[in-house]
Structure 1
Amino acid sequence: MVLTGAVRTSDSGHTRRRVLGTAGGLAGLVTLGGCGLFDDDPEPAPAPDPLRPVLDEALALAAAYDRVARAQPALAGKLTPLAEAHRAHAGELARVIGTTLPSGPAASSAAAGGADTTSALRRAELAAQKTAAALCRSAAAERAALVGSIAAARAAHAEALR
């Protein structure tokens, strides 16, 4: 036998369809809540750009050159163009990454080896050159040329500091 009329489940006026419909709607909300639709958790931070270490080293090297040039003014003519080259690299890397450069002077970094000498600059250049060369091997084609030229410049800077 098929019932086509509303069947009352209680004296309160609730029908079986209304009760089942409400239960189904609640089940749907619970399911949506479980999939994260109503979660208040923030999205995880995106992974840092692979070029970020090369950018950070460029800024640290420029700051290190500036420190050595201030400490040894006789070397400023030789060191200032190298610092400017690192700032140019940082600017291009920031453009490619889609970030802005810090407006103030770069913070002191271990990249300078802790000492304000040309030998510390040379060690920092060689370490930074290795970072750039390693990244060049794994970088996407459109980034590899930039990183490769930065690695070559860092090697040339290290030789200029001999």
Structure 2
Amino acid sequence: MVLTGTVLTTSRRILLGALAGSAALAGCGVFDGDPEPAPPPDSFQPLLDEALALAASYDRVIAAQPALAARLTPLAEDHRAHAADLARVIGVTVASAAPSVPVSSAPAGTTATLRKAEQAAQKTAVAACKAAPAERAMLAGSIAACRATHAEALR
């Protein structure tokens, strides 16, 4: 009888130790089949995407209408500079800061379409500025102001 009580106590301890060990292993991810969820995108990612899209839009218009190159190239360069600054803040790299040659059959657009794109992008930058923490608000505000200036320059 005494022997049975000792065996049961020892067996419980072994069982509890085994359960605790397997729980610890399960918690460390060894037996997890699910990968870690991806971190949410940076709140400045839309600004970066727009800066790259705007630069590409300017490049398409310049390619279609070379006479506008002197007027539009500085504006496209501003967007590439914004993209570089935003990428640095976000911690990503952008493919290239050089103008891209249009490879799609998408229409090039006009200065009027560029102006509308600048106005829409300026609203995005203002919203980002309002939502940004203090250390990022200055960059978003600067981009918003530049986009507003571009819209006026395209009149």
- TM-score range relative to shorter protein: 0.7 to 0.9
Q: Does 1:127 align with 2:120?
A: yes
Contact 2:61 2:109 in 1 (8 A): yes
2: CA distance, partners of 1:120 / 1:134: 22
Aligned to 2:18: 26
Structure with greater helix percent = 2
Aligned to 1:82: 75
1: CA distance, partners of 2:78 / 2:12: 72
- CA offset at residue 32 of structure 1? 3.2
2:87 aligned partner, one-letter code: A
2: CA distance, partners of 1:102 / 1:60: 13
Larger radius of gyration: 1
Contact 2:61 2:110 in 1 (8 A): yes
TM-score, with structure 2 as normaliser: 0.85
Aligned residues: 150
- Residue identity (%): 58
Q: Which runs of 5+ in 2 are unaligned?
A: none
**Structure with more contact order per residue of length (Cα contacts < 8 Å, sep ≥ 6):** 2
Deviations 1:67-115 (A, max 9, x none): 000100110000000000000000000000000002384999xxx9x65
TM-score, with structure 1 as normaliser: 0.81
2: CA distance, partners of 1:76 / 1:18: 85
Matches within 5 A, 1:4-153: 7-9=2-4, 15-32=7-24, 35=27, 37-38=29-30, 39-103=32-96, 105=100, 116-153=109-146
Contact 1:58 1:89 in 2 (8 A): yes
- CA offset at residue 29 of structure 1? 3.5
Contact 2:63 2:102 in 1 (8 A): no
1: CA distance, partners of 2:25 / 2:124: 45
Contact 1:55 1:94 in 2 (8 A): yes
